[in-house]
Amino acid sequence: MEAKKWGFAITLIFIFAVVPLTLLILQNPNKPWEFVDKILGILGGDDSMYPSGNYKVNGDHIQDLSVSPNLSSCHASYGRTDLLVHCCPSESQGEEAIIDFQFPDPSTPLRVRMPAHHVDDDNIAKYKRALTIMKSLPDSDPRSFSRQANIHCLYCTGAYDQPHSNLSIDIHRKWFFFPWHRMVLHFHERIVGRLIGDDAFALPFWNWDSPDAMTLPGWYMNDPFFDDQRDFSHFPPKTMILNLAYMYKQVVSGAKTPELFMGCPYKAGEGGVCDGPGTVELALHNTMHKWVGSNFQPEREDMGAFY
Ligand SMILES: *[C@@H]1O[C@H](CO)[C@@H](O)[C@H](O)[C@H]1NC(C)=O
Ligand SMILES: *[C@@H]1O[C@H](CO)[C@@H](O)[C@H](O)[C@H]1NC(C)=O
């Protein structure tokens, strides 16, 4: 399970870091905020902007179509049809209220994410300290490494049902993919920073479409970053190839509209299910998952299939 945890940190970091910036700059050079607005609309952050998007009027009744989990409904789910995956927290979450997101106070320090191959020793030391603390926390602590890692599993293979429904939640292959992963990173990063009392701590990212950074970042070969459930043949100095071509196709030429980039609209209830991943999910996310994952397991688990 240790390996899975490691997968959490590294995958999400590269997914988050490379794409949005490139997209904002290349795809929408004059109007990047339009895209940000779309994402906020999709997240349900500003109802006035997209009045019809997440709501349906049934007579006088307005139905909220935002997808949400029933936190009391956690159950084992299927990683593959023949594989039940267990990642529910040991204690019930049912009584925990869901807290609305608050944007950070603008006066708080800006977190500046650095590419992993340029992070200095001080920052590696901070990250190391934070991860060591995180890994030492008991499983009952939601900030612990295993609980953080399991968040992906909980929402990936259908561990939660939607309220008033037997339909489970799956954050892949739809427009949830991108904002959901960004959200997880956002909170993970805040937790990491809080554990070492550094409100400006920023997660490094693997800048794998840069010619200088096409190997696994070297310091990931050491504890507490190292994971022995990886494809050893892909350890440094092995380089990823075709990255630039992938990046251009998935972020620029193949992603001309928000829908192509983000994936299909996903809404609550029977009518809201969809299966149509965006370009950000397909080649970029899936290829890297598999490249890093363990070649000893059928689905290259522990990064390939990342429950
Ligand atoms: C949530 O799930 C629990 C357990 O399955 C169930 O008893 C409860 O009715 C569900 N709540 C809603 C709002 O669907
Ligand atoms: C969920 O499934 C059970 C068993 O098939 C059924 O009795 C129940 O009505 C379903 N609940 C909803 C909200 O569809």
**Distance from the alpha carbon of residue 166 to the mean position of ligand 2, in angstroms:** 6
Q: Is the CB of 70 under 6 A from ligand 1?
A: yes
Tokens describing residue 125: 């030391």
- Facing residues of 291 across strands? none
**Distance from the alpha carbon of residue 165 to the mean position of ligand 1, in angstroms:** 8
Q: Which residues contact 99 (CB under 8 A, 6 or more apart)?
A: none
- Provide the domain count of the chain: 1
Residue in this structure with the two tokens 């902007």, named with its chain if needed: 49
Residue 8 · residue 148 · CB < 8 Å: yes
Q: What are phi and psi of 215, to 5 degrees?
A: -105, 160
Ligand nearest to the CA of 166: 2
Cis peptide before 237 (omega within 30 of 0): yes
Name the residue type at position 221: M
Q: What are phi and psi of 242, to 5 degrees?
A: 65, 10
Instruction: Locate the ligand 2 atom nearest the alpha carbon of residue 164 and give its number.
Output: 13
Range of the domain at 233: 2-50+57-93+128-292
**Distance from the alpha carbon of residue 166 to the mean position of ligand 1, in angstroms:** 9
- Facing residues of 205 across strands? 115
Protein residues with CB under 6 Å of any ligand 2 atom: 164-166
The span from the CA of 107 to the CA of 102, in Å, is 14
Residue 84 · residue 75 · CB < 8 Å: no
Name the residue type at position 212: D
Residue 118 inside a domain? The answer is: no
Ligand nearest to the CA of 161: 1
Residue in this structure with the two tokens 């990046």, named with its chain if needed: 247
Q: Is the CB of 72 under 6 A from ligand 1?
A: yes
Residue 182 inside a domain? The answer is: yes
Q: Whose CA is nearest to atom 4 of ligand 2?
A: 166
- Which of 166, 168, 270 gets mutated to test ligand 2 (max ligand atoms within 8 A of its CB)? 166
Residue 262 · residue 177 · CB < 8 Å: yes
Tell me the angle at which helices 145-156 and 121-136 cross, rounded to the nearest 10 degrees.
80
Look at phi and psi of residue 112 and say left if phi exceeds 0, alpha if psi is from -120 to 50, else beta.
Answer: beta
Q: What is the mean pLDDT of each run of 10 residues along the chain (307 residues)?
A: 57 51 46 46 40 65 84 90 89 75 89 95 96 96 93 92 92 93 95 96 93 92 91 93 82 93 93 93 85 88 80
Q: Is the CB of 142 under 6 A from ligand 1?
A: no
Residue 110 inside a domain? The answer is: no
**Distance from the alpha carbon of residue 70 to the mean position of ligand 1, in angstroms:** 6
**Distance from the alpha carbon of residue 55 to the mean position of ligand 1, in angstroms:** 22
The span from the CA of 275 to the CA of 174, in Å, is 6
The span from the CA of 242 to the CA of 265, in Å, is 30
Residue 39 inside a domain? The answer is: yes
Ligand nearest to the CA of 73: 1
Distances (CA, A) of 100 to 43, 45, 68, 160: 12, 10, 12, 19
Residue 253 inside a domain? The answer is: yes
SS3 42: helix
Query: Strands (DSSP E) along 24-137, which ranges?
Result: 55-58, 61-64, 77-80, 83-85
Q: Which residues contact 165 (CB under 8 A, 6 or more apart)?
A: 70, 268, 269, 270
Instruction: Locate the ligand 2 atom nearest the alpha carbon of residue 165 and give its number.
Output: 13
Q: Is the CB of 150 under 6 A from ligand 1?
A: no
CATH number (domain holding residue 228)? 1.10.1280.10
Determine the pLDDT at residue 42: 46
- Which of 70, 75, 93, 95 gets mutated to test ligand 1 (max ligand atoms within 8 A of its CB)? 70
Q: Whose CA is nearest to atom 12 of ligand 2?
A: 165
Determine the pLDDT at residue 304: 78
